[in-house]
Amino acid sequence: MAKQYDVLFRLLLLGDSGVGKTCLLCRFTDNQFHPAHISTIGVDFKMKTIEVDGIKVRIQIWDTAGQERYQTITKQYYRRAQTKVEEIVQEVFDACKTNHHVSQFVLHRDKHFHYLKRGLRQLTEAYECLDASRPWLCYWILHSLELLDEPIPQSVASDVCQFLSRCQSPQGGFGGGPGQDPHLAPTYAAVNALCIIGTEEAFGVINRKKLLEYLHSLKQPDGSFLMHVGGEVDVRSAYCAASVASLTNILTPALFAGTAEWIARCQNWEGGIGGVPGMEAHGGYTFCGMAALVILKQEHLLDLRSLLRWVTHRQMRFEGGFQGRCNKLVDGCYSFWQAGLLPLLHRALHARGDTALSMTHWMLDQSALQEYILLCCQCPAGGLLDKPGKSRDFYHTCYCLSGLAIAQHFGSGDLHHEVVLGVPENRLQATHPVYNIAPEKVVRAVMHFLQLPVPNLEPEATE
């Protein structure tokens, strides 16, 4: 029997219950809409054949039930995806087995440098979707360069300062680009980028009084912060607010009243921290929550042992990298979001008198993490990525390198100890585990702004 189509596509619809997956599918396949459609049980199936430029295309679509109800289906999807990732990673590892020498573990510094250098001056059209994240691009690139110990030319630094000054809002804080509304995420990125530059020009960009006013406008009665006026609340906003306030010397008790207690309520039964109280623990939120509490000197509010158990179980036994949540795949960016928690936990547990802590290593497999980043996360043309088969980008370049730095450097001062996998040239500069910029840049910024008084927001008396 002759085939009734030229090309076959198989699609799978995933998502929560009641969001309209089946209605969308029926509209496409049958041109019908049922406002009171019965919920899908298990898996349903639809087919449609269309013609595109004279080619008959058949589409087979599996419509699944809400994954929060049918966890067995979710496990099947995860199991197959996890198996596929392990197969790809195994291929990378096998390629090195025949010549398993330290020379296999090489950080392609020059290629990463040229990729980053180009990004500061010109971006491809693929970055159009990040038009509201331009301070982030500045931060990701500048921080990656400082980790590689590549100096930033004065002319480039000055251009970045001028650009970020145009992103600063008259209301206080920074938007995602010139003329855009202020938002705590690009505010965090802009302040970090300016602190990395660390010049008088850079520090002078920040309008501290307006920034303090803006932070107060986002503060909620329960201690949390909005991400932007009229926006969502989650742990990221608390961290972004605490980070910029502490770096610029505008952190006041009134501004953060109740914030530490609110963050502590976001720790769930798993041990990690969710976006808001009651949510699933997530690596990014957990880092933000823990780092904010370190800034506020309130780490003791968390169940630290439970948090330690949760984060150490996120390091993948086979790949060596970290996953962001339970039953998720490895991702290079969590090399920082998860591994960066370990120095913070080490410090907090040491302050509590825990005598079982190592004096030379963090509580993770530092060599395995470096192996995953060096073998599986480097793009041959420069830049780093999530996992083999994914595309490079500045976000993953920044956080893969940050995680690599965390894995290479233990402690500071007399306790500083290095574990550098591969050739000595793989060594990166250290990063501050709270702010994720160079430790000396944190000190420079803090010392600069400590010389300035905290802005007074009280209205001036009139005669």
Q: Which of 333, 377, 379, 398 is catalytic?
A: 333
Give the confidence band of 254 by pLDDT, cuts at 50, 70, 90: very high
Instruction: Check whether residue 187 and residue 57 sit in a common domain.
Output: no
Catalytic: 396? yes
Residue 140: inside a domain, yes or no?
yes
Check 265, 328, 390, 444 and give the catalytic one. 328
* Catalytic-residue membership of 30: no
Active-site residue (options: 134, 236, 325, 392)? 325
Query: Are 242 and 354 found together in one domain?
Result: yes
Is residue 341 located within the same domain as residue 441? yes
**pLDDT score for 70:** 46
Annotated catalytic residue: which of 134, 393, 400, 448? 393
Assess whether 236 carries a catalytic annotation: no
Is position 386 annotated as part of the catalytic site?
Answer: yes
Q: Is residue 460 part of a domain?
A: no
325 a catalytic residue: yes
67, 32: one domain? yes
The one catalytic residue among 314, 346, 396, 432 = 396
Instruction: State percent of the chain over pLDDT 90.
Output: 69
Choosing from 143, 183, 219, 282, which is the catalytic residue? 282
Q: What pLDDT is recorded for position 12?
A: 75
Both 314 and 372 in one domain: the answer is yes
Final residue before a domain boundary, out of 39, 72, 98: 98
pLDDT (average), residues 375-387: 95
Unique residue bearing structure tokens 């025949």: 98
Residue 59's CATH number: 3.40.50.300
Q: What is the pLDDT of residue 85?
A: 79
Q: Is residue 1 part of a domain?
A: no
Q: Judge if 89 and 154 occupy the same domain.
A: no
User: What is d(CA 362, CA 253) in angstroms, rounded to the nearest whole number?
Assistant: 32
Query: Which tokens in the block code for residue 301?
Result: 């509010």
Q: Is residue 410 part of a domain?
A: yes
Q: Are residues 80 and 212 in the same domain?
A: no
**Set 377, 386, 395, 399: catalytic member:** 386
456 belongs to a structural domain: no
pLDDT digits (tens, 9 = 90+) for 297-343: 999 999 999 999 999 999 999 999 999 999 999 999 999 999 999 99
> Active site includes 282?
yes
Q: What is the mean pLDDT of residues 168-197?
A: 98
- Whether the per-residue pLDDT at 346 is higher than 90: the answer is yes
Catalytic residue, from 115, 188, 334, 372: name it. Answer: 334
In a domain, 461, yes or no: no
Q: What is the pLDDT of residues 267-307, one digit of tens each?
A: 999 999 999 999 999 999 999 999 999 999 999 999 999 99
Contact 183, 227 (CB under 8 A): yes
Residues 72 and 133 in one domain: no
Same domain, yes or no, for 271 and 365?
yes
Supply the mean pLDDT for the chain: 89
Per the structure, the count of domains in the chain is 2
List the CATH number of the domain containing 269.
1.50.10.20
228 is catalytic: no
Q: What is the pTM of this model?
A: 0.82
Q: Are 297 and 396 part of one and the same domain?
A: yes
Tell me: do 48 and 123 sit in the same domain.
Answer: no
Residue 288, domain extent: 109-451
Domain check: are 168 and 229 in the same one?
yes
Question: Cα–Cα distance between 120 and 421 in angstroms, integer?
Answer: 29
